[in-house]
Chain A
Amino acid sequence: MENIYLTIVLAPLLGAIVAGFWGAKIGRAGAHWVTSSGVGIACALSLWVLSRFIWHDLPAFNDTIYIWMVADGIQFEIGFLVDRLTVLMMATVTFVSLMVHIYTIGYMADDEHNWPHGSLAGKNSYQRFFSYISLFTFSMLMLVMSNNFIQLFFGWEAVGLVSYLLIGFWATRESAVFANLKAFLVNRVGDFGFILGIAAIGMYFNSMDYAEVFAKAPEFANTEIAVFGGVSLMTLICILLFIGAMGKSAQVPLHVWLPDSMEGPTPISALIHAATMVTAGIFMVARMSPLYELSTTALSFVLLIGAITAFFMGLIGLVQNDIKRVVAYSTLSQLGYMVAALGASAYAAGIFHLMTHAFFKALLFLAAGSVIIAMHHDQDIRNMGGLRRYMPITWITALVGSLALIAFPGFSGFFSKDAIIEAVGHADVFGAGFAWLLLTIGAFITALYSFRMYFLVFHGKPRMDEHTQHHLHETPWVVTVPLLALAIPSIFIGWYAVEPLLVNNWFGNAIVVAHEHDTLHHLANHWHGQVAFIQHGMHGLPFWLAMSGLILATIIWWGWHKVNPAIDGQLQQKAGPLARVLDNKYGFDDFNQRVFAAGGRRIGQVFWNTGDQKIIDDTIVNGSARAVSWTAEWMRWLQSGLLYHYAIAMIVGLVGLLTVYVAF
């Protein structure tokens, strides 16, 4: 198996290297063929491995590939742990990645136009883009397949690097290079916590290996560590690691980078900033479930952060007019749902939602991208309308994605999201009730913003200018085929996966849940098949809230909008201060800009001007030089070489000494 796993990881890397370094030689077709084949191989093999796990009960693989180093008795290694949790991630990541590769062929076809005339960076940008997304796939696979903390961190930072490169892909645009720096730095704040968490594990477990750490973890369940006046070690480790997840998975208050990351080309918004990389934090916490189960405090923290993100970020989605930003805020909100599931110890539900979300959110992003292509890169939904007549495939697939997103019964998102809300309802860690409330109301908001966008884009009268309208048409097959391919799992994957994942404990010992935290067993105990689950869901509050959101959205942005096309703006004006708060995104960006960015620069300025230049250089260093030269001047003045000067000095000195001698 080792060779198969190595192939899965290395095939995308090889594609990335070839397309990156020899992009000019192999040309555009060469680049997309070599990278897509690499990812295609990885995807095919991953699906094959998945099938082995499903139907042949393949045992988990855990082995070292090579030893990175042995230092001070700790072995650091590169190795793979492929169990049922991993293989699900591998299949999801490689499948979405493959779809995005194919889609990119269409999306980036005329990328020269995005670069200033004559820019050499734009010359082989098409090939470079493929190289990056393949490199991303490699990094993400390294992350999910790792069997130790160091490789996890490697993958973690490597996906961050590729994200940085891709957000700033159009490197001549100021907004893009601002966004990628911001993304990297905010992620680094998360990683700051993450590496301290890893260091804490290193200190107490003296190992970086998952299996060893997890096995020893219960011994430390009651260990206290003498920081912050004494806290439980497990709580500290889990919260530090989770800070890393908050960066990568964009949880409040480290979420600020994700909306800005939309500056990157749409395919990577789908792949990296919706389907895969941002879910790394969710995967990580699920992987660390043996640790998180030992700290209710940490679980409670995770739950609250997730619920707050899910609710408040969803609200912002209501006032966004950029098609990608609506989807981006929706992603933030959905990530919040997944995180909340983790906090409720419903790791399986979190991963389940991760998977369904990967499909339907990638679908929504790619559909948005398809719209953007048709609209000649205008992303403002106020300028769209009526697109369903011009691009039927995009329309239908976007509708599928939206229905899945709002958890319409039967669609994939329904199963996963309903399970999360139900699990949180059963949780009894601190804050669970509050979290449940936020998530439940969130269902209403999700439906509202999703269908606001859907109606504004695809229904009503076309509002674009004539030229654009004249050229509107469905996008080429390389774009629509991935849409269709993603629409299928967006509908069906929930139906098929819910029973094994949530009821039959498919993950086995890949995920550990303490008996008293087991919030999913209610669901398992009352399981009577998918139909019954749907019926049960349709009696629940979340369903009714989602439906009212859908209906309200239909009334406003379909019915009312026909009568009064300016209704969207008017409603926002009516909402007044609330809309302004949402429009300012609760002021996080302003605060960060003023306090951290400007504050950091000011501190640096003060340290440099006052500390280094004035105190150290001027006063001490050059000051001592001046002191030496003054003394020398003075000595020179004393030694004038004139006899009578010396004679006077002697006489004055003699008189002085005698006076002192006589007087005292």
Chain B
Amino acid sequence: MIEFPWLTLTIWLPIIGGLAVIVSGDKTAELTKWLALAVALLTFVVSLPLWFLFDVTSADMQFVERVAWIPSFDVYYYLGVDGISMPLILLTTFITIFVIIAGWEVITYKPSQYMAAFLIMEGVMVGVFAALDAILFYVFWEAMLIPMFIIIGIWGGPNRVYATIKFFLYTFFGSVFMLIALIYMYFQSGSFSILDYHTLQLGMTAQVLIFIAFLLAFAVKVPMFPVHTWLPDAHVEAPTGGSVILAAIMLKIGGYGFLRFSLPITPDASATLDWLIIALSLIAIIYIGFVALVQQDMKKLIAYSSIAHMGFVTLGFFIIFAIFNQPAVHSGAVMGIEGGMVQMISHGFISGALFLCVGVLYDRLHSRQIADYGGVINVMPWFSGLVVFFAMANAGLPGTSGFVGELMVILAAFKADFWFAFLAATTLVLAAAFTLWMVKRVIFGEITNEKVAHLQDLNKREFINLGALAAAVLVLGIWPSPLVTVMEPSIIKLVNQVQVSKLPNAPTPTISQTINHIQP
């Protein structure tokens, strides 16, 4: 029986829809926008079966589609999702709706192409998460750059050329090494299937080189210290929607890469080099936290905050080896990775919402400088309430989604090493400090800038946007169980996988902690 190709539909519907939006053009701009919104909504709807028809007891790839694409090179159009990629696909289709809505009245220059760029972007990003063939993955991976390049380059701020070049070169630089690694493994395994790579025996040198190649690609995307400086620049220049996609989804692709490629393909190298990632993650949490504190530009501040939060993600992923080495500890590795995953989803909502909030202010005053604001609560009380809510979520308040991932990573980090947890937990203070200090200066106080006095509170469109994201943040914070349940089998499988050495002459696999629980 051939399953209904939900993944293909989720990938190609927005891409084709995006092309249709371009064709319909700007002359009927109003209609075009509705068309774009319809496409985004429809894409979200067709992605929902991925969630509802997903078998939460299985760790295997589901919704698999496999068709020969370039037979002479064994390249397949090979798609499938597990508990790791499926939530990220839903995040993508969900967030895109709000990006389309956010650009509604704001983008007056070539709106149809703007909307189309985001729709195409959406399809491509879903493709990245769904691809199980290395070449297909790589094509989607690189294709992602083009719409984003255009979005920042055309609808961006005054310094957009510098930002786009920096963004493009940085990410492109990272990915060519990944391509080499993928091709190398093709010659070793005779297949481009990512799942075949997972079982491919590799010597230590090869593993280390492949690990580093992947690291370059993914570290730039996440971004990790010290290859993070493209992100603040890109955010500052990007239009609101671009920032949202960048923060909410594109960064997650780096995190996803670690789980899909680095850990399962090069477990021995990962175990050897885990200290590097842990160190960089902790630097991201603390160093970047301090850097965020002194930012004058709201978008830069949130961009740095994103880097710090993504530090939690990579920390959660790579503490697992230290946990394996703790003889007394029974579990924790699964929690670390799950925490990183939850943090990615949650950060998608929260950072997306925060960038939308900055967009709301920017649309009115055309400034992102903290110093230009103050006393916004006097004129925009509803908006201020939402900002405080998202700020608290960003600071990891329990009851919001921001807490769940942080809690899980801290719990797991404690099992790895007291000091990892200690350093990671400084985010409780740092994130609260940089986020709430900004809130204090922007939202509270008396109005000092004459222009602020004339601001209008949220319109219906903005209210729907932020309200929906607030609901998502709250639901995930109050009831994270469904998300965790979906992920758990795949993550348990991954954790068991990385404990098996892939060195050719390795002794019989010794798994220090075979994990097979789903319920306690």
A pairs with B: yes
Mark A residues whose CB is within 8 Å of B. 66-75, 115-116, 118-123, 150, 153-154, 156-158, 161, 164-165, 168, 171-172, 174, 177-178, 181, 184-185, 188-189, 191-192, 195-196, 198-200, 202-203, 206, 225, 227, 600-601, 603-605, 607-608, 611-612, 616-617, 620-621
A344 CA / B201 CA spacing, docked (Å): 62
Given A72-B335, A73-B517, 17 other A-B residues pairs in contact with their CB atoms under 8 A:
A69-B483, A71-B408, A73-B515, A118-B378, A120-B378, A121-B381, A150-B398, A157-B398, A157-B403, A172-B377, A195-B407, A199-B425, A202-B411, A227-B419, A600-B290, A604-B294, A617-B229
| Contacts known (A185-B433, A199-B414); A72 close to B381, Cβ less than 8 A | no
Q: Are B426 and A181 in contact (CB under 8 A)?
A: no
Whether a CB of chain A sits under 8 angstroms from the CB of B440 is yes
Contacts A70-B481, A184-B436 given; indicate if A196 touches B338 (C-beta within 8 A): no
Residue contact A227 to B418, C-beta cutoff 8 Å: yes
Greatest chain B CB density within 10 A among A70, A72, A603 is at A72
Given contacts A71-B484, A196-B414, contact A120 B338 (CB under 8 A): no
User: In the docked arrangement, what's the CA distance between A191 and B396, Å?
Assistant: 12
Q: Are A171 and B444 in contact (CB under 8 A)?
A: yes
How far does the alpha carbon of A621 sit from the alpha carbon of B515 in the complex, in Å? Answer: 43
Q: Are B229 and A70 in contact (CB under 8 A)?
A: no
Closest Cβ–Cβ distance, residue A121 to chain B (whole Å): 5
Report the separation of the CA atoms of residues A116 and B287 in the bound assembly, to the nearest whole angstrom: 39
Residues of A within 8 A of B478 (CB): 68
Question: Within 8 Å of chain A (Cβ to Cβ): is B397?
Answer: yes
Q: A181-B440, A203-B329, A203-B415 are in contact. Are A196 and B335 (CB under 8 A)?
A: no
Our count of residue pairs bridging A and B at CB distance below 8 angstroms stands at: 180
Give chain B interface residues in 469-492, CB to chain A under 8 Å. 478-481, 483-485, 488
Chain B residue nearest to A170 in the complex (CB): B444
Closest CB in chain B relative to A347 CB, distance in Å: 26
In the complex, are the beta carbons of B330 and A206 less than 8 A apart?
Answer: yes
**Interfacial chain A residues near B488, Cβ < 8 Å:** 70-72
**Given A181-B436, A603-B290: A121 and B377 interface contact (C-beta under 8 Å):** yes
> A161 to nearest B CB, angstroms?
6
B507: interface (CB < 8 Å): no
CA distance A300 to B123 in the complex (A): 62
Q: How far is the CA of A74 from the CA of B170 in the complex (A)?
A: 41
Q: Are A607 and B291 in contact (CB under 8 A)?
A: yes
Q: Determine the residue in chain B with the shortest Cβ distance to A78.
A: B478
What 4 A-B pairs come out closest when comparing CB atoms?
A199-B414, A72-B335, A604-B294, A604-B290
In the complex, whether B278 has a CB less than 8 A from a CB of chain A is no
- A74, A165, A604 — which one has the most chain B CB atoms within 10 A of its CB? A604
Chain A residues within an 8 Å CB radius of B292: 604
15 pairs from A and B in contact (CB 8 Å cutoff)? A70-B484, A71-B488, A72-B331, A75-B520, A116-B378, A123-B381, A161-B397, A195-B410, A196-B410, A199-B411, A202-B415, A203-B414, A604-B294, A611-B287, A611-B291
| Shortest beta-carbon distance from B171 to chain A in Å | 13
Nearest-Cβ distance from residue A71 to partner chain B, whole angstroms: 5
A277 CB to nearest chain B CB (Å): 15
In the complex, are the beta carbons of A69 and B520 less than 8 A apart?
no
Of the candidates B378, B419, B429, the one whose C-beta lies within 8 Å of that of A188 is: B429
Contact B445 A172 (CB under 8 A): yes
Cross-interface CB contact of B378 among A72, A172, A189, A225, cutoff 8 Å = A172
Contact of A608 with B294 at beta-carbon distance under 8 Å, contacts A71-B488, A171-B443, A196-B422 already known: yes
Closest A residue to B436 by beta carbon equals A181
B499 at the interface (CB under 8 A from A): no
Q: How far is the CA of A115 from the CA of B481 in the complex (A)?
A: 43
Q: Mark B435-462, 1 if CB is under 8 A from A, else 0.
A: 0110010011111000000000100000
Q: Give the interface size bracket for B toward A.
A: 35 or more
Q: Which of B229, B399, B440 contacts A616 (CB 8 A)?
A: B229
Q: Which residues of B contact A621 (CB under 8 A)?
A: 166, 170, 229
Residues of B within 8 A of A172 (CB): 375, 377-378, 444-446
In chain B, positions 264-309 with a C-beta closer than 8 Å to chain A are 287, 290-295
B384 at the interface (CB under 8 A from A): yes
Please judge, given known A-B contacts A121-B377, A177-B444, A196-B414, whether A153 and B398 are in contact too, CB under 8 Å: yes
Q: How far is the CB of A225 from chain B (nearest CB, A)?
A: 7
A206 pairs with B229, CB closer than 8 A: no
CA distance A634 to B456 in the complex (A): 56
The smallest beta-carbon distance between B72 and chain A, in angstroms, is 36
A68 near B481: Cβ-Cβ < 8 Å = yes
Given contacts A157-B398, A192-B429, A199-B414, whether A612 and B293 have CB atoms under 8 Å apart is: no
Chain B residue nearest to A606 (CB atoms) is B290
Chain B residues whose CB sits within 8 angstroms of the CB of A202 once the complex forms? 411, 414-415
Q: Which of A161, A198, A225, A605 has the most CB of B within 10 A?
A: A161
Instruction: Select the residue from B378, B379, B440, B457 with max chain A CB neighbours within 10 A.
Output: B378
Are A199 and B421 in contact, CB atoms less than 8 angstroms apart? yes
Residues of chain B within 8 A (CB-CB) of A203 are: 329, 332, 411, 414-415
Give the CA-CA distance A72 to B487 in the complex, in Å. Answer: 11
* Contact A199–B410 (Cβ < 8 Å): yes
Question: CA separation between A71 and B519, bound complex, in Å?
Answer: 8
CA A202 – CA B330 in complex, angstroms?
Answer: 11
Asked if A607 and B384 sit within 8 Å, CB to CB, the answer is no
B436 touching A185, Cβ below 8 Å: yes
Q: Which residue of A lies closest to B329 (CB)?
A: A203
The answer to whether A70 and B378 have CB atoms under 8 Å apart is no
Set of chain A residues within 8 Å of B479, measured between Cβ atoms: 66, 68-69
Question: Which of A164, A174, A177, A195 is within 8 Å of B428, CB to CB?
Answer: A195
Q: Which residues of A contact B392 (CB under 8 A)?
A: 161
Taking a contact as CB atoms closer than 8 A, the residue among A74, A195, A199 that contacts B520 in the complex is: A74
User: Does residue B334 face the partner (Cβ distance < 8 Å to A)?
Assistant: yes
Q: A161: which B residues are within 8 A, CB to CB?
A: 392, 397
In the assembled complex, the Cα of A642 lies from the Cα of B410 at a distance in Å of 67
B226 an interface residue at 8 Å Cβ cutoff? yes
Contact B414 A73 (CB under 8 A): no
Q: A171-B444, A181-B440 are in contact. Are A72 and B433 (CB under 8 A)?
A: no
Q: Which residues, 324 to 381 on B, are CB-close (under 8 Å) to A?
A: 329-335, 338, 375, 377-381
- Are B520 and A73 in touch, CB under 8 angstroms? yes
Report the separation of the CA atoms of residues A154 and B329 in the bound assembly, to the nearest whole angstrom: 26
Bound complex: CA of A150 vs CA of B488, how far in Å?
20
Residues 143-177 of B, flagged 1 when their CB comes within 8 A of A and 0 if not, give: 00000000000000000000000100010000000
Cα of A116 to Cα of B335 in the assembled complex, Å: 49
Chain A residue at minimum C-beta to C-beta distance from B380: A120
Cβ 8 A contact of B399, one of A154, A191, A225? A154
Q: How far is the CA of A68 from the CA of B401 in the complex (A)?
A: 12
Interface presence of B432 (CB below 8 A)? yes
CB contacts (< 8 Å) of A605 on chain B: these are 294
Question: Which chain B residues lie closer than 8 Å to A116 at the CB level?
Answer: 378, 446-447
Contacts of B447 in A (CB 8 A): 116
Interface positions, chain B 214-236, Cβ under 8 Å from A, are 226, 229
Is there contact, CB below 8 Å, between B226 and A616? Answer: yes
Q: Mark B483-515, 1 if CB is under 8 A from A, else 0.
A: 111001000000000000000000000000001
**Bound complex: CA A123 to CA B380 (Å):** 12
The residue in B410, B444, B483 that gathers the most chain A C-beta atoms within 10 A of its C-beta is B444
List, in ascending order, chain B residues with CB within 8 A of A199's CB. 410-411, 413-414, 421, 425
Inter-chain contact A185/B485, CB cutoff 8 Å: no
B440: chain A residues at CB < 8 Å are 177-178, 181
Nearest A residue to B287, CB-CB: A607
Residues of A within 8 A of B519 (CB): 70
Instruction: Return chain B residues, CB-CB under 8 Å to A620.
Output: 226
Q: Which chain B residues lie closer than 8 Å to A611 at the CB level?
A: 287, 291
Q: Which residues of chain A have C-beta atoms less than 8 A from B443's C-beta?
A: 171
What residues of A have a CB within 8 angstroms of the CB of B515 in the complex? 72-73
Complex: A128 Cα to B344 Cα, angstroms? 33
- Chain B residue nearest to A186 (CB atoms) is B429
Q: Is the Cβ of B381 less than 8 Å from the Cβ of A120?
A: yes
Chain B residues with Cβ under 8 A from A122's Cβ?
378
Residues from chain A with Cβ under 8 Å of B377 in the complex: 119, 121, 171-172
